[in-house]
């Protein structure tokens, strides 16, 4: 007896960066999600035109921030309120 394991075909995007229209009726959403190794990976996904407004509301900002203590740049993704209170991940580890 052989059992088939089905993987989930629904891919979610954790941080939505952009939503754009390609062609007549093709909408795409671009963003970042974690892969199996817990690294952020840039992804794109084709979406239903009715979901375009939903993803536009979930859009996040990405900013390169500079730490004055360790003199390093790091990428921060989230809402503007979250980015203002962001701590340096390099200083936080030490």
Return the structure tokens found at 45: 């996904």
Of 90 and 44, which is predicted with more confidence? 44
| Co-location of 39 and 64 in the same domain | no
Q: Do 24 and 41 share a domain, yes or no?
A: yes
User: How far is the CA of 64 from the CAs of 9, 41, 54, 76, in angstroms?
Assistant: 33, 17, 26, 6
Binned at pLDDT 50, 70 and 90, residue 67 comes out as: confident
Using pLDDT thresholds of 50, 70 and 90, give the confidence band for residue 94.
low
| Same-domain status, 25 and 53 | yes
Residue 35 above 70 pLDDT?
Answer: yes
51 and 17 in a common domain: yes
Domain that holds residue 79: 60-94
Long-range contacts of 62-66 (CB under 8 A, 24+ apart): 62/15, 62/17
Q: Are residues 55 and 87 in the same domain?
A: no
Residues in the chain: 94
Same domain, yes or no, for 78 and 55? no
What does the pLDDT average to over 11-39?
A: 84
Please check whether residue 62 is in contact with residue 17, taking contact to mean a CB–CB distance below 8 angstroms.
Answer: yes
Residue 4 binned pLDDT confidence (cut-offs 50, 70, 90): very low
The whole-number pLDDT of residue 3 equals 46
* 16 and 29, same domain (yes or no): yes
Q: Please check whether residues 49 and 69 belong to one and the same domain.
A: no
Question: Is 55 inside a domain boundary?
Answer: yes
Could you tell me if 45 and 13 are in contact, meaning their C-beta atoms sit under 8 angstroms apart? yes
């Amino acid at each position: 007896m052989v059992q088939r394991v089905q993987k989930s075909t629904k891919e979610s995007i954790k941080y939505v960066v952009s939503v754009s229209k390609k062609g007549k009726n093709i909408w795409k959403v671009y963003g970042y999600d974690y892969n199996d190794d817990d690294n952020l990976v840039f992804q794109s996904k084709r979406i239903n035109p009715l979901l375009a407004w939903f993803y536009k509301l979930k859009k996040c900002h990405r900013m390169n921030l500079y730490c004055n203590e360790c003199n390093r740049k790091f990428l921060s993704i989230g809402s503007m309120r979250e980015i203002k209170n962001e701590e340096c991940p390099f200083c936080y580890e030490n």
